[in-house]
Amino acid sequence: MNDEIKGMALGVVGVAIFSITLPATRIAVSGLEPVIVGLGRAVVAAGLAALTLAITRQPLPTPAQLKRLVVTALGVVLGFPLFSAIAMLYVPAVHGGIVLGVLPLATTAAGAVFCGEKPSPKFWAVALLGSALVVAFAMIRGAGALQAADLWLLAAAVSAGAGYAVGGELSRTMGGWQVICWALIVSLPFIVPPVLWYLPDVDWRAPLPVWGAFLYVAVFSQFLGFFAWNRGLAMGGVARVGQVQLLQLFLTLLASAVLLGEVIDAVTIGFAVAVVGTVAISRRMPVARRDV
């Protein structure tokens, strides 16, 4: 099994973990402030990161690595969690399928800008087709018309794309789990003050599902999921592995079927097969990567 296939497999693991993020965020913000959900989850994850780094005695990042860690932190620790939490106040989780359609394109574009990757025109064409299929499916499933909250979702997609690309590239030399751990530590000066500001307003008697959802996005979405995701991007390439994100909406629906008994209809299966096809085809399209 070559590095590209391993990278794709790790990408699927990461996306499977991330697939619960938007529904869990939707549940969490029903009882907690968006800032507590969006940034508080990172504070919890940063505690786990600090413990992990201390136990494994990791060396401090170099100045060059620190610059990229700041970009990664702004994207995946600050931007995406906060913007998506705000959006989930106003739109249902299925509406988030729109951002899941745009996110792979944002990741590919960020890979070209920040990491020197050069996807071929054919790759871009297949990527656009896959994104269009996901957005169309989200609309059919009841995402509804575009609205003001989609600006928050767009900001979330751009933030995540940049953070994924830079973090994935940095993982080639630093290690996937080390990148997310240090990114969380670097983010603390940005996230602790607003969390402390909103802390007195926290409803500690919020229902158990609210706290369960918060713990999921803190431990899995913000921490463990990136162990696999960053390593996958490093091994398989930002653009190529980034296309795996197209499967996220369908994995979310699959989880809903298993956990909540929701029915997966023929339309869902048809779109899922088509999207899997675009991901498979994109693997055959040329993407130039610069050497480490």
- pLDDT digits 0-9 by tens, 83-130: 988 887 887 766 666 667 788 888 888 888 887 888 888 888 888 898
Determine the pLDDT at residue 253: 78
Which of 165 and 286 is assigned the larger pLDDT? 165
Judge residue 187's burial from the number of C-beta atoms within 10 Å of its C-beta, 0-12 exposed, 13-18 middle, 19 or more buried: buried
Judge residue 119's burial from the number of C-beta atoms within 10 Å of its C-beta, 0-12 exposed, 13-18 middle, 19 or more buried: buried
pLDDT at residue 228 tops 80: yes
Highest mean pLDDT, choosing among 139-148, 212-221, 242-251? 212-221
CB 135 within 8 A of CB 100: no
What's the number of CA atoms in the CB half-sphere (13 Å) around residue 116? 6
Average model confidence (pLDDT) for the chain?
87
Instruction: Indicate the length of the chain as a whole number.
Output: 292
pLDDT at residue 262 tops 80: no
pLDDT band per the 50, 70, 90 thresholds, residue 23: confident
Determine the pLDDT at residue 153: 84
- The model carries a pTM of 0.86
pLDDT band per the 50, 70, 90 thresholds, residue 57: very high
Which of 126 and 249 is assigned the larger pLDDT? 126
Calculate Rg over the CA atoms of the chain. 18
CA 51 from centre of chain: 23
**What percent of the chain shows pLDDT beyond 70?**
92
